[in-house]
Structure 1
Amino acid sequence: MKWSFVIQQKLKAAFLLGGIMVLIIGGTMLSRYNVQDIDQCFSSIYKDRLVPATTILYLTENLYRKRLSLETYLFSEKRESPARVKAQLQAYDRSIDSLIHSFEKTYLVDQEAKSLHAFKSQTAQYARLEGHVLALCANGLAGDAREMFSAPGAATFESTILNLNELAGIQSTIGKDLMRASKVNVASFSIISFLQIALAIITGLVVIVLIRNSQIIQKPGPDRKKSQYFNLN
């Protein structure tokens, strides 16, 4: 009967330990999933948010330098050659196209893709306007060229900068969302780790109890020894 009781207790303990092991394995797999999510969030913050934000800064710099070059040519008394100014503007355009291409390689949300498309259209329109300004200067119509640069040119340039500001705002919003997701994953990982430690402690206690009960059952008590000696008599 005692051995039957021992076997029953061992079966219960085995099922209990097996359930705990399943929970620990499941928690470990979930922890790995959370760690991968955290890694993806931080990688996305760098590749898809920080890099585009830096690209926007360079785009803004190129646009302002390009406008300043044409403004200097139009309003300075000592002008450079039209060919030299045209070459400078084309160099800025190539730099802007390269930056836009690198921007397009990153992950873009829908609103971001729309804003980038609008920015590309604005930069193309502004480049055509610069071509018209240079053509007017070449034909001796410097006054008309200045007027075009100051009125429609300023409005087009401002629209282009507004598109860049919109893109920068999107980077900030998406970056905050990624940071919130990372914090949720970190909190989940901490809870799972705490539960795993608690389960490990419970497992250790169960093992200690089993070992102690096994020793108590196997070791005969004083009454049992006396009964054995009595039977011998």
Structure 2
Amino acid sequence: MIFGFSFKQKMKIAAFLFFIMCSTMLIRMLEDKSIKNMSNAFVSMYHDRLIPATDLFFLAENVYAKRYLLEEALNPERTVEISFIELKKKLGSYNKNIDSLVHKYEGTFLIKKEKSQLADLKTKLRDGILIENNIITMAEIHTLAEGRHLFEASGKTAYNNISEKLSELSRIQTDAGEELIRESESIVSGSKLYSTAQVCLAIFIGIMIVNLVLTSKVANIKNDRFNLN
């Protein structure tokens, strides 16, 4: 009878330890996954949102610089003779910068709406270059006044369309960034839950150990009384 009681106790302890081992491994796996997801969220925040937002800012600066350069070249009150060769060279330099920034932007993670807006932006940029060339051709072959008229009629609209697309992409960056923040907060909440589970498991282990110790003492007292009888 005593042997049977001892064997049952050992089986309970073995099952209890196995349960603890499985629970600890599961919590550890969930924690590792949570940490990995949090790390990916922060990396994505930096590479796919913060850097692209900065690139959009520089892209907008280059577009504005082109507009200002062309507008100043067509200014009827300018006293310095305009060099169309130099103008084309400077515009080409800005276009090269813009192409580089757009290509860099395409290399980041893009959501569906972002892909659509970026495709529209690229179309607007190409249209803008064609209009710029037409304006320069009109001013160079004919008169500055005609070039200025074409700029007022088509050039400003083209630049405004590009600016609108850049603003829309910037808003997408903000919305996507807020989504990543919410995702990070959810991951943090999950980590807190895992920590709470570990604390509860530790308390449960403590209670079970105390219970086993008390049970062992009771069994020893009964055995002593049995031997005395």
Pair in the same fold by TM > 0.5: yes
Give the share of equivalent positions with the same residue, in percent.
30
RMSD: 1.8
Deviates more, 1:206-215 or 1:139-148: 206-215
- Map of 1:27-66 to 2, 5 A cutoff? 27-66=27-66
Ranked by relative contact order (alpha carbons within 8 Å, sequence separation 6 or more), the top structure is: 1
What per-residue deviation string (whole Å, max 9, x for no partner) do you get for residues 100-149 of structure 1? 01000001111111111111111111111111111112113211100111
Deviates more, 1:150-159 or 1:88-97: 150-159
8 Å Cα contact 1:73/1:79 also seen in 2: no
Where structure 1 has 5 or more consecutive residues not aligned to the other structure, the ranges are 228-233
Q: Which residue number in structure 1 is paired with residue 7 of structure 2? A: 7
8 Å Cα contact 1:27/1:196 also seen in 2: yes
Q: 1:219 Cα shift?
A: 6.5
Residues in 1 aligned to 2:173 and 2:145: alpha-carbon distance in whole angstroms? 41
Secondary structure of the structure 2 residue equivalent to 1:151:
helix
Q: 1:218 Cα shift?
A: 4.5
Query: TM-score when scaled to structure 2?
Result: 0.92
Query: TM-score when scaled to structure 1?
Result: 0.90
Where structure 2 has 5 or more consecutive residues not aligned to the other structure, the ranges are none
8 Å Cα contact 1:47/1:106 also seen in 2: yes
Q: Which residue number in structure 1 is paired with residue 164 of structure 2? A: 162
Q: Which residue number in structure 1 is paired with residue 92 of structure 2? A: 90
What per-residue deviation string (whole Å, max 9, x for no partner) do you get for residues 147-186 of structure 1? 1111211111111111101101111111111111111111
Alignment length, in residue pairs? 227
Residues in 2 aligned to 1:79 and 1:99: alpha-carbon distance in whole angstroms? 32
Residues in 2 aligned to 1:21 and 1:70: alpha-carbon distance in whole angstroms? 72
What per-residue deviation string (whole Å, max 9, x for no partner) do you get for residues 169-218 of structure 1? 11111111111111111101101111112212322332343345435545
